[in-house]
A and B are shown apart, each in its own frame.
Chain A
């Protein structure tokens, strides 16, 4: 027993000194994400050429001093387009994942705590939603309502709410069966208190991990929609749309198609690196 005590004490001391301790892989992930976030915020200030302007005489131009990442199928500067594309990809995905996870997790916890008919109705409703293929759903909605950024955000979040709901509910049901929940219940606590103070702290670790994975799914679905031409509309383009526009460059091995793909990969991989290497204190709170 004494051993565990001293151990946790030492963990606590270093915890206050360093804040949260990251390992190196997590740091790499975090810095890539921060880099893309900064790019998204300051993109208009740092792009060398306007996004829609044709500046190169050649199409699918190679990397050069004037055009660091070459030019696209119309001769526009790729670097500028990727930097501006970060705004759409990072922004839309972040907004969508926040909405999806927030509503999914809250609904899941409510369903677990309330139980009964509320649980049944919510679960069946979201199961039904889950049964619609996500790309098809996006296609139909965007085709019907038209593509705008709010529509994209909402569509993406609706597609991923059922998954977040299922995940959170499964975790919360286990916690809900514990005696400390019974104690809180017969103390007379409200459902809101139960989900906020008793359940959420115990499931936050897995929920964050889930959020990371879901973010990646959303980036990929957004890129997929843009690839189909339903995402961000020209002349602007997110990374998925950039890949689609320049797909013709594949036979030439031009940088125009490679770099947007790299951008998507770097963002999604680094989000997962970060989540998998979250500081012990956050990740293992439930243990």
Chain B
């Protein structure tokens, strides 16, 4: 059987700003058979999207396909002229982008954009195209398939928009669809529905697909074959079962093991401490002008109470928009709470950071999700770490220099990195610098706001390991905010589930498998597992899904 896609010895070259040429794809070969879904998996920078884009004969600005062949249904896209490639795009090969929200034009209706491909290529009359689009909406189990096309992109949810972008890709009856991390930006509860829709449409139409992702568990649900990439080279390729159960390459094993963080041994040394380190009572926080009763117009956090013991960790999980980050900002005093008490180390704190003493500020530090915007790009690592030492501890230059070395050792960064600027560091290194800056203050509590969400699986697992180690050495406490249950499970003694600004449940790891609240049950059951049969076997109460999911 002849394969639909045959990539042979593909090489892609990029030109750097200084004019040097760097090979970013180093001789990759892979096949996709008719009707089969192949997943490209790897960390950021591994070249997975670059390879996927060459399937449309496209290389990003500054890049060039420098060797090899990419044949799709008999056409070698490398040798085709630009005009011929344009004919292939949208009819034979189509693309589903990572961020559907950015890919849709906010000023045109969804229907106009979905059928645009048929208009450009003159495939069918408009009426027919519309009918076909509605059919696709139905196949992708979108609500109100007859009328959803007349809405504008901002009037549908993120998960719906992602499915609509799949409809856009499928309308030209392609032989191959490229999915570029289509569910990465979605909540786990939404992700399930999108994955199911993709899977059923692809299977029904017998369409081949290339699925780009960094999430092994998601890929396990949808792909027939998995290709593991690192630094522009194929590390390992095989069927999904082979890769999951019998990985040969060390890098694949690393990926697999990063996926299952070792559960944390319960801390017991600190349990003798009588007073909790942080106690929050009936906190309300939000945005907008305050109303006559003193509450803000939009309340993102409503009436939340929680407790953090010394040397123990609290996890806060929930999907995007549930108020978990707002809660962290209220605790840190960035966004003053409207109502409620924050008691830290036995003393009540001012609601705004300005009302707190320098020592109170020092003892509670916050680390943000986006490591790169949290570091001043104009300063070297040394200067960044230097400031809290001067500001809080008033150390002299020699003591500071020694302490900076110590801090870099603590976060496992080489000492000679201190002269670099943030722009010269990788994502994981930046997050470590952020962490070192928080540690420089000698805090008692560190608020971690989604600190691993922007990192690759393997890097994130290493950061989590580091956090655990530091806790053992320094007796810190963490509040760990995340939407990723497995991350929270790996590090926290207690987990708070939030939904719609409220705390819905308090869970200890001992009963992690038996949450009581229906939303927690839904959330926990929605986390993809490495088992390829998981999605097909998953059954969720439709009532529950309707009640809690804004799909």
Q: Is A180 an interface residue (CB 8 A)?
A: yes
Q: CB distance B358 to A201 under 8 Å? A: no
Given contacts A179-B370, A201-B378, A286-B377, contact A188 B353 (CB under 8 A): yes
Q: Is A147 an interface residue (CB 8 A)?
A: no
Interface residues of A in 1-24 (CB under 8 A from B): 1, 3-5, 7-8
A sample of 23 cross-chain residue pairs with beta-carbon separation below 8 angstroms, ordered by A number, consists of A1-B426, A7-B16, A7-B20, A8-B420, A178-B373, A179-B370, A180-B375, A183-B366, A183-B437, A186-B366, A187-B387, A187-B388, A187-B391, A188-B353, A188-B356, A188-B361, A188-B391, A197-B379, A197-B387, A201-B378, A201-B379, A286-B378, A287-B423
Which residue on chain B has the smallest CB distance to residue A204? B378
Which residue on chain B has the smallest CB distance to residue A10? B18
* Residues of A contacting B361 in the complex (Cβ-Cβ under 8 angstroms): 186-188
Kindly list 17 other residue pairs between chains A and B, CB separation below 8 angstroms, not including A185-B334, A202-B376. Answer: A3-B20, A3-B22, A7-B20, A8-B420, A8-B424, A178-B374, A179-B373, A183-B374, A185-B353, A186-B361, A186-B366, A187-B391, A187-B392, A187-B441, A188-B391, A201-B378, A201-B379
* Residues of A contacting B22 in the complex (Cβ-Cβ under 8 angstroms): 3
Interface string of B352-395 (1 = CB under 8 A from A): 01001010010000101010011111110000000110011000
Q: CB distance B370 to A188 under 8 Å? A: no
Interface string of B1-45 (1 = CB under 8 A from A): 000000000000000101010100000000000000000000001
Q: Is A119 an interface residue (CB 8 A)?
A: no
Partner of A186, one of B16, B18, B334, B420: B334
Shortest CB distance A7–B (Å): 6
Which residue on chain A has the smallest CB distance to residue B368? A179
Q: Is A148 an interface residue (CB 8 A)?
A: no
Interface residues of A: mostly helix, strand, loop or mixed?
helix
Q: What's the Cα separation between A122 and B45 when bound, in Å?
A: 46
Q: Is A233 an interface residue (CB 8 A)?
A: no
Q: What's the Cα separation between A285 and B377 when bound, in Å?
A: 8
Q: What's the Cα separation between A19 and B18 when bound, in Å?
A: 19
Q: CB distance B353 to A285 under 8 Å? A: no
* Residues of B contacting A5 in the complex (Cβ-Cβ under 8 angstroms): 424
How many A-B residue pairs lie within 8 Å, measured between CB atoms?
Answer: 64
Interface residues of A in 179-234 (CB under 8 A from B): 179-180, 182-189, 197-198, 201-202
Which residue on chain A has the smallest CB distance to residue B441? A187
Q: What's the Cα separation between A191 and B260 when bound, in Å?
A: 45
Shortest CB distance A40–B (Å): 34
Shortest CB distance A199–B (Å): 9
Q: What's the Cα separation between A265 and B174 when bound, in Å?
A: 62
- Top 4 nearest A-B pairs (CB, nearest first) are A201-B378, A179-B374, A179-B368, A186-B353
Q: Is B332 an interface residue (CB 8 A)?
A: yes
Q: CB distance B379 to A182 under 8 Å? A: no
Interface residues of B: mostly helix, strand, loop or mixed?
loop
Q: What's the Cα separation between A243 and B462 when bound, in Å?
A: 71
Q: What's the Cα separation between A189 and B390 when bound, in Å?
A: 11
Interface string of B309-337 (1 = CB under 8 A from A): 00000000000000000000000111000
* Residues of B contacting A189 in the complex (Cβ-Cβ under 8 angstroms): 391
Q: What's the Cα separation between A210 and B366 when bound, in Å?
A: 36
* Residues of B contacting A1 in the complex (Cβ-Cβ under 8 angstroms): 45, 426
Q: CB distance A202 to B424 under 8 Å? A: no
Q: CB distance A202 to B373 under 8 Å? A: no
Partner of A201, one of B20, B374, B376: B376
Shortest CB distance A81–B (Å): 46
Which residue on chain A has the smallest CB distance to residue B426? A1
Q: What's the Cα separation between A8 and B421 when bound, in Å?
A: 10
Partner of A285, one of B16, B333, B378: B378
Which residue on chain A has the smallest CB distance to residue B375? A180
Shortest CB distance B367–A (Å): 9
Partner of A7, one of B18, B376, B379, B437: B18
Which residue on chain B has the smallest CB distance to residue A185? B353
Which residue on chain B has the smallest CB distance to residue A178? B373
Q: What's the Cα separation between A5 and B421 when bound, in Å?
A: 11
Q: What's the Cα separation between A185 and B373 when bound, in Å?
A: 14
* Residues of A contacting B16 in the complex (Cβ-Cβ under 8 angstroms): 3, 7
Given contacts A3-B20, A186-B333, A188-B358, contact A180 B424 (CB under 8 A): no
* Residues of A contacting B378 in the complex (Cβ-Cβ under 8 angstroms): 201-202, 285-286
Q: CB distance B377 to A202 under 8 Å? A: yes
Q: CB distance A180 to B374 under 8 Å? A: yes
Q: What's the Cα separation between A285 and B376 when bound, in Å?
A: 11
Which residue on chain B has the smallest CB distance to residue A11? B18
* Residues of B contacting A178 in the complex (Cβ-Cβ under 8 angstroms): 373-374
Which residue on chain A has the smallest CB distance to residue B438? A183
Shortest CB distance A109–B (Å): 14
* Residues of A contacting B388 in the complex (Cβ-Cβ under 8 angstroms): 187
* Residues of B contacting A7 in the complex (Cβ-Cβ under 8 angstroms): 16, 18, 20
Q: What's the Cα separation between A178 and B369 when bound, in Å?
A: 12
Shortest CB distance A148–B (Å): 41
Q: What's the Cα separation between A285 and B353 when bound, in Å?
A: 30
Interface string of A257-283 (1 = CB under 8 A from B): 000000000000000000000000000
* Residues of B contacting A4 in the complex (Cβ-Cβ under 8 angstroms): 424
Q: What's the Cα separation between A270 and B125 when bound, in Å?
A: 61
Interface string of A156-191 (1 = CB under 8 A from B): 000000000000000000000011101111111100
